[in-house]
Amino acid sequence: MAEENEVQRNPENWSSPQKILVILAHPDDPEFFCGATIARWTRMGHTVEYCLLTRGDKGVRGQLAERETLSRLREEEQTRAAGVLGVSRIRFLDFEDGYLQPDLAARREVVAALREVKPDVVVTSDPTNFFHREDRINHPDHRIAGQIVCEAVYPASGNPLFFPELLEKGLDPHEIKELWLTLTAQPNMMIEVTETWELKIAALKQHRSQIENMEEMERMQRQRRVAESSEENPRYVETFRRIKFR
């Protein structure tokens, strides 16, 4: 019983602090997809950084907006949201929102980030998930970001013959230990995040340009409790597909 409780408390089974790099498409993706897990990790003493492939310059709700103005706003919102979760650093790769392509240019930029940060664990979105809800089509940037990251993690990041020009910049090959896919239809990992669910909501509140009705957002997030829990004693989890390389 004690062993089972320990697995539930520490399902990651990491024996030392980890460096975790979250690589996703847009500002607000980390908070929506796995914000409570990120808060859990930083509370546990792990270092979490973000690498976002775009600045979210098409994140509007039907109205026109100047792209550069919107990009700056979303950067500011993301910086505040990351601060709520204890994230130490954010980098933006500045690809155009909505136009991500799994090409060599994007792969090279992600490889450069991997070799610079040298994370133990990378978190990205599942590239195979076209329909993440019954009433939604997954944004193509979410899937493509995951594809770019997977192809950067293997085989490129750890192989010096890929993008040898990065060696001249001092970016030596790096192999990660684990890859975690969020927004997946094939999870094999469930993280208990009840204690940090309110931090997730607090971080989401920083993305005011993206959330039209904050009260409705809060209501929907609190409804995501697991089925066997109650409003009085809610329980929340976030799920992933975890791939361990070594």
Domain residue ranges in the chain = 17-244
Q: Is the pTM of the predicted complex or chain greater than 0.85? A: yes
Which of the four pLDDT bands, split at 50, 70 and 90, describes residue 131? confident
Task: Report pLDDT digits (tens) over 20-57.
Answer: 999 999 999 999 999 999 999 999 999 999 999 999 88
* CATH 3.40.50.300 correct for 17-244: no
Task: Report pLDDT digits (tens) over 87-107.
Answer: 989 999 999 999 999 999 999
User: Quick check: 219 pLDDT over 60?
Assistant: yes
Which of the four pLDDT bands, split at 50, 70 and 90, describes residue 8? low
Burial class (CB in 10 A: 0-12, 13-18, 19+), 8: exposed
DSSP code at position 133: B
Supply the pLDDT for residue 60: 63
Report which of 199, 234, 239 is spatially closest to residue 81, judged by C-alpha positions. 199
CA dist., res. 150 & res. 198, Å (int)? 31
Mean pLDDT computed over 190-206: 98
Supply 69's token pair: 């103005």
Position with higher pLDDT, 225 vs 138: 225
Supply the pLDDT for residue 96: 94
CA 196 from centre of chain: 16
Which of the four pLDDT bands, split at 50, 70 and 90, describes residue 4? very low
